[in-house]
Structure 1
Amino acid sequence: MANLAVTAAAAASSRFLGGGTARENEVPLGDVLVAGLRDAMLGLGSNLGDPQPEQLPAELSRALTDFHTCRYGSLAVRLPRLIRAGHALSDDGQGHALLAQSYVLATRMLVKLDEQQLGWMAADRARQLAEAGDDVLIVAEAARNLAVLARKAGWNDQAMSIALVAADNPSLRSAGRAGTAERGLLIQSAAYTAARSGDRKGMRQLTEEAAAIATELGGPTLLRDHGGGFSQATVQLHLISAENSAGDPVAALSAARAIAPQSLPSVERRSRYYTDIAAAFGQLGRRDECVRALLTAEHHAPEETHACPAVRSLISGLLVSGRTTSELRGLAARSGVLT
């Protein structure tokens, strides 16, 4: 357990210690991102500064890097511009694919920020554009995002169906290693949905199926539209979340011990690892370890930690449920949570 609950001094760099307040450009990042995406999706806002058509592939790569390194300040500028510029392209296959990938990324960010209404809009556009561009991997990733949104809406049966039908698509099965990895991601998603439904047996069966796919692949597989990729480590990361969701934080911590955080493929995934550990400690009432895990997540990805509604909710709960420390009050202030 000592490996999970890293000391606050080791977890946080010096700029995070003490009381502190959120930097002005960090606290509202979620709101800035949502507003920018909303306006771009509605065709509003100026196109001054938007990238030229020949720049769009490189801009998409940079936007994906921003997401996976949790640089949301940069993403808040880059992604809305990318969507506006993508809509200005001609309706050819390349334009459809690029815009579909932009909307897939927008959906993931909106899900993270718990903006379901805009998330549905982005996910449906991603699906339609992917199907028009006939790109099986983008179609599958759009389906995975739709399944996540359905699960968050409480439509667990529909979420399960969306993920498993997409995973069984013959086109995906014939898409080589990347197609196999995308199948693994979809089955991971279905496992988490089973946990949310209270079906622990189904969750574990689906997790074992995803793990078998990872074993078959023999090593991590990076995916163009999912920088976290697919591997044994990502299967185990989903298991932590699923055990937490199923109400078994002890099992979640046991699953966490099986992962070396450095084996996770992105800053965003490592941040998720530590916030899931914090959630498990929170369920167990182990406040100090919960705070230390949150500080570790903040150290890896401050913009993610400060902007994520689920993390801010956890911090709020800690503030009102027991004694506070200077570390907790500082984290709350930097995250824009009222103390």
Structure 2
Amino acid sequence: MAARSVNLGAVIKAARLARGWTQVDLADALHRSPSTVSRWESGKQRLTDIDELRVVADVLRIPYEDLGLAVTLSGDSTAKDDDPVRRRQLLRNLAMTAAATAAPGGLAGAGVQPNASGDLLVANLRDALLASPSHIPAPRSDVAAALALAKRAFQACRYERLAVELPRLITRGTSLSASGESADCALLAEIYTLATRMLVKLDRTELGLVAADRARNVAAGAADPILPAEAARNLSVLTRKAGWHDRAAEIALSAAVDPRLRGEGPRLKAQRGLLIMSAAYTAAKGQNRSGMRELTGEAMSIAITLGDTGVDLSHGTGFGTWMVDSHLVSAHNACGDPAAALAVARRIDLRALPTVERRSRFLGDVATAHAMRGNRTECLEALLKAEHIAPEETHARPAIRALVGGLLTSGRVTPELRGLAARCGVT
């Protein structure tokens, strides 16, 4: 066996949390001290002994390869899964699959009609991502200005505007890719990141993986360490949506302990907090309540140090105590505990959430919690409130439309519900 380079601490931590173990539990199983486990996970102590790595892998049920132990047979090394040519081919196939599902009717299900702005946005993003790079030079200042407008449209949930501006921005941004300059890489990485976030919102996992991989590759050439970290966070989100929870947690936690994110600067701390918070939600989706609580506590500890308003990051996402609390609502829903979700929601001031997009997401989570508890009236009230502040998001987002469909089929249909369903294209 030969070791390859991996972030062992993040892999061990993700596997431990996936089993619902504390550091003390793992230390007991390995007959080591909790402080040793803590140093492994934080990267302060390297775990290099091959035999001990095997023991850790066996106890946590981690494939040897995930701890950097690549099996060789008869002197022939195994094929590398991260071969660039194979990865590009895989992503191309994913993109073509996404292209097929992005056509009008791709959301088709019982009683759910295509959404014009959402489907147009996905189709246009698909075409822009699959097109060859533009050879028409675009001034960096013009691209930066267009990116700022697109970010504002995203934060305001203006899907119709994004359906035009964001694909065009991708095309113009690719003209910068040949320069290799850090500032150009940073701009293009932010463009791909914004596209990824939009595709996550619209539940287009396959096409989102294409955009996320582009963001990660381009961000590697940027000087700002926030950009590759955010690309990793979005990749983790998509990996989670694909159902690969352990891998999603590993991606997020590995990025959180990356040496480039070390330091006490507010931006670095905020990005670490975002990554840990993402891993917490992944734990919740995997029904790992103890892992969710532990990671949420870590994220909140960071958020508290950033003050009441938190920190705005260049890629358009903010982080603070309000962000951790709003994600905790989602996490409790994922764990099947809507009462806990609503208890957290009651302490959140909607006005404290900094963007229309974040308020709309929060109201959607509140509606979900009410639906899980059978509170039809309160669920509809939350949905109507979300529609009032972000109509395009409410009408296009698949999760919201599914909630509306559930209300239509589970009880009395009021005029308010019938009107919302019509506007969402749900019959």
TM value normalised by structure 2: 0.70
User: In the TM superposition, what are the counterparts of 1:102-113 in structure 2 within 5 Å?
Assistant: 102-113=191-202
Take 2:371 and 2:243, find their aligned partners in 1: how far apart are those partners? 23
Q: Letter of the aligned partner of 1:147 in structure 2?
A: S
CA displacement, residues 290-330 of structure 1 (integer Å, 9 cap, x when unaligned): 00100000011001101100000111111111111111110
Q: 2:311 aligns with which of 221, 225, 246?
A: 221
Matching of residue 329 in structure 1 with residue 418 in structure 2: yes
Which 10-residue stretch deviates more, 214-223 or 270-279? 214-223
Matching of residue 73 in structure 1 with residue 163 in structure 2: no
User: In the TM superposition, what are the counterparts of 1:118-267 in structure 2 within 5 Å?
Assistant: 118-174=207-263, 176-219=265-308, 220-227=310-317, 229-267=318-356
Take 2:314 and 2:222, find their aligned partners in 1: how far apart are those partners? 16
* Contact 1:167–1:187 (Cα < 8 Å) also in 2: yes
Take 2:199 and 2:135, find their aligned partners in 1: how far apart are those partners? 22
Take 2:296 and 2:261, find their aligned partners in 1: how far apart are those partners? 19
Take 1:45 and 1:183, find their aligned partners in 2: how far apart are those partners? 32
Q: 2:145 aligns with which of 54, 58, 61?
A: 58
User: In the TM superposition, what are the counterparts of 1:250-329 in structure 2 within 5 Å?
Assistant: 250-329=339-418
CA displacement, residues 60-111 of structure 1 (integer Å, 9 cap, x when unaligned): 1111111011111111111111110011124222221111100000000001
Q: Letter of the aligned partner of 1:300 in structure 2?
A: I
Distance 1:32 1:47, change over 3 A: farther
CA displacement, residues 218-263 of structure 1 (integer Å, 9 cap, x when unaligned): 2311111133x01111100000000000000000000101110100
Q: Letter of the aligned partner of 2:130 in structure 1?
A: L
Structure 1 unaligned segments of length 5 or more: list them.
1-25
Structure 2 residue aligned with 1:82:
169
Take 2:204 and 2:316, find their aligned partners in 1: how far apart are those partners? 20
CA displacement, residues 22-50 of structure 1 (integer Å, 9 cap, x when unaligned): xxxx94111111011111111179999x9
Larger Rg: 2
* Contact 2:158–2:392 (Cα < 8 Å) also in 1: yes
Question: Helix, strand or coil: the match of 2:374?
Answer: coil
Take 1:320 and 1:99, find their aligned partners in 2: how far apart are those partners? 44
Take 1:175 and 1:86, find their aligned partners in 2: how far apart are those partners? 32
Structure 1 residue aligned with 2:131:
43
* Contact 1:51–1:81 (Cα < 8 Å) also in 2: no
* Contact 1:69–1:267 (Cα < 8 Å) also in 2: yes
Q: Letter of the aligned partner of 2:155 in structure 1?
A: H
Matching of residue 99 in structure 1 with residue 166 in structure 2: no
Take 1:308 and 1:34, find their aligned partners in 2: how far apart are those partners? 12
Q: 1:32 aligns with which of 120, 142, 149?
A: 120
Q: Letter of the aligned partner of 1:226 in structure 2?
A: G
**TM-fit CA distance, 1:175:** 7.1
What's the Cα RMSD here?
A: 1.9
* Contact 1:27–1:334 (Cα < 8 Å) also in 2: no
Take 1:303 and 1:193, find their aligned partners in 2: how far apart are those partners? 27
* Contact 2:134–2:172 (Cα < 8 Å) also in 1: no
Take 2:326 and 2:356, find their aligned partners in 1: how far apart are those partners? 13
Question: Helix, strand or coil: the match of 1:323?
Answer: coil
Take 2:133 and 2:413, find their aligned partners in 1: how far apart are those partners? 43
Take 1:160 and 1:174, find their aligned partners in 2: how far apart are those partners? 22
Q: Letter of the aligned partner of 2:122 in structure 1?
A: V
Take 1:132 and 1:47, find their aligned partners in 2: how far apart are those partners? 20
Structure 2 unaligned segments of length 5 or more: list them.
1-113
Q: Letter of the aligned partner of 1:84 in structure 2?
A: T
**TM-fit CA distance, 1:54:** 3.2
**TM-fit CA distance, 1:157:** 0.3
Q: Letter of the aligned partner of 1:35 in structure 2?
A: A
Question: Helix, strand or coil: the match of 2:426?
Answer: coil
Distance 1:205 1:73, change over 3 A: same
**TM-fit CA distance, 1:205:** 1.2
**TM-fit CA distance, 1:201:** 1.2
TM value normalised by structure 1: 0.88
Question: Helix, strand or coil: the match of 2:312?
Answer: strand
Q: How many residue pairs were aligned?
A: 311
Take 1:329 and 1:45, find their aligned partners in 2: how far apart are those partners? 45
